[in-house]
Amino acid sequence: MSLAELWAQILWPLCKLIGLVSVGLFVGNLVEAMHWTRFMARLANPLTRIGRMCEISAASFSMAFVSGITANTMLAEAYDQGKLSRRELILTNLFNSLPTYFLHLPSMIFITVPILKSAAVVYLGITVGAALLRTVLILFIGRILLTGIDRCHAMDLPAEEKLVARQVLEKTWKRFRRRIRKIVMITAPIYVGVHFMNKFGMFTAVEHFLAEHMSAMSWLHPKAVGIIVFQLAAEFSAGMAAAGALLDAGSMSVRDVVMALIVGNVLSSPMRAFRHQFPYYAGIFRPKLALELIICSQGFRVASLIFCGAVYYWVS
């Protein structure tokens, strides 16, 4: 590998990743040092109270509409300080999938609507429905599993404490330096490892295996396989382009196209989530916990998509 390839394929993307994580970490620490988490928690408290979640969970949920990295950083800080249990950490991370989804929804709309037209409304409706379903289920599960309000740590600012800009920045910078070292030491080697796994074709081999062993999906339209293969072997937009071409040619109905996109989404997303999320998740959380969070979130997401897709399949 030449120096130019090393920079373009590993060092520059890694610098951008660590830069984004650093910004999220600094903002998260600053928000806590300024005691803004209390205000942010008020925005989501009416919703999180249903699931008996603590204020830090509500604050993280509100922040996730702006930055998923900062929201996760807030959760990691609270967990490391003993202010959040492992159970509530996992539930809150799952709960944050709704704002995370809406954070990326505008770009999905601009990609899908021009290509799929009316089919885009159905497809996006199913994915929105799956996100809302996950949110309702997490609130229901939280109401059952999370008990005892005494477990929650108050986020109120003591009356006698005054915020001084210099002290706030010093506190933020001190905590930032302590955590960024750990993040870089963990994120960098994992990112490099995932890069070479991808370069040597490990992810591609898994995707091709899935594409070649789809006999169990005989209920799909025969031409749907092409859409799914493009989603597995290429990117999300490639599957959309294939679906749009087949739809415009009249080769497939809206229902067949939507089902193909959902199946492709279910098969391709978990692998891509691990590839893109694990390096920075492992820097924010402990690697074992990061893997557990990704498995839980992707498993829950896939299950909700399958359910909503099945409902659409039988109703339409």
Please give the average per-residue pLDDT across 264-289, as a whole number: 83
* Residue bearing tokens 């300080």: 81
| Measured distance CA(85)–CA(57) in Å, rounded | 11
| CA separation, residue 118 to residues 233, 238, 261 (Å) | 26, 18, 14
Nearest Cα to 71, choosing from 80, 85, 58, 61? 61
In a domain, 157, yes or no: no
Domain count, the chain: 1
Average pLDDT of the chain? 79
In a domain, 226, yes or no: yes
In a domain, 291, yes or no: yes
Whether residue 120 has pLDDT greater than 60: yes
- What are the respective helix, strand and coil percentages of the chain, to the nearest 5? 80, 0, 20
Cβ atoms of 74 and 32 closer than 8 Å: yes
What integer pLDDT is reported at residue 134 of this predicted model?
Answer: 94
In a domain, 145, yes or no: yes
Range name among 91-95, 100-104, 108-112, 160-164 with the lowest pLDDT average? 160-164
Q: pLDDT band at residue 307, thresholds of 50, 70 and 90?
A: very high
| CA separation, residue 176 to residues 27, 172, 237 (Å) | 9, 6, 37
Q: pLDDT band at residue 42, thresholds of 50, 70 and 90?
A: confident
| Measured distance CA(245)–CA(144) in Å, rounded | 47
pLDDT in tens, 236-250: 666 777 788 778 777
Q: pLDDT band at residue 48, thresholds of 50, 70 and 90?
A: confident
pLDDT in tens, 142-201: 999 987 656 675 554 444 445 567 777 877 787 778 777 776 776 677 677 767 766 777
How many residues make up the chain in this entry?
Answer: 316
- Host domain of residue 58: 3-151+164-315
Whether residue 261 has pLDDT greater than 80: yes
In a domain, 156, yes or no: no
In a domain, 159, yes or no: no
What integer pLDDT is reported at residue 159 of this predicted model?
Answer: 42
Winning range, highest mean pLDDT, from 208-212, 239-243, 264-268, 306-310: 306-310
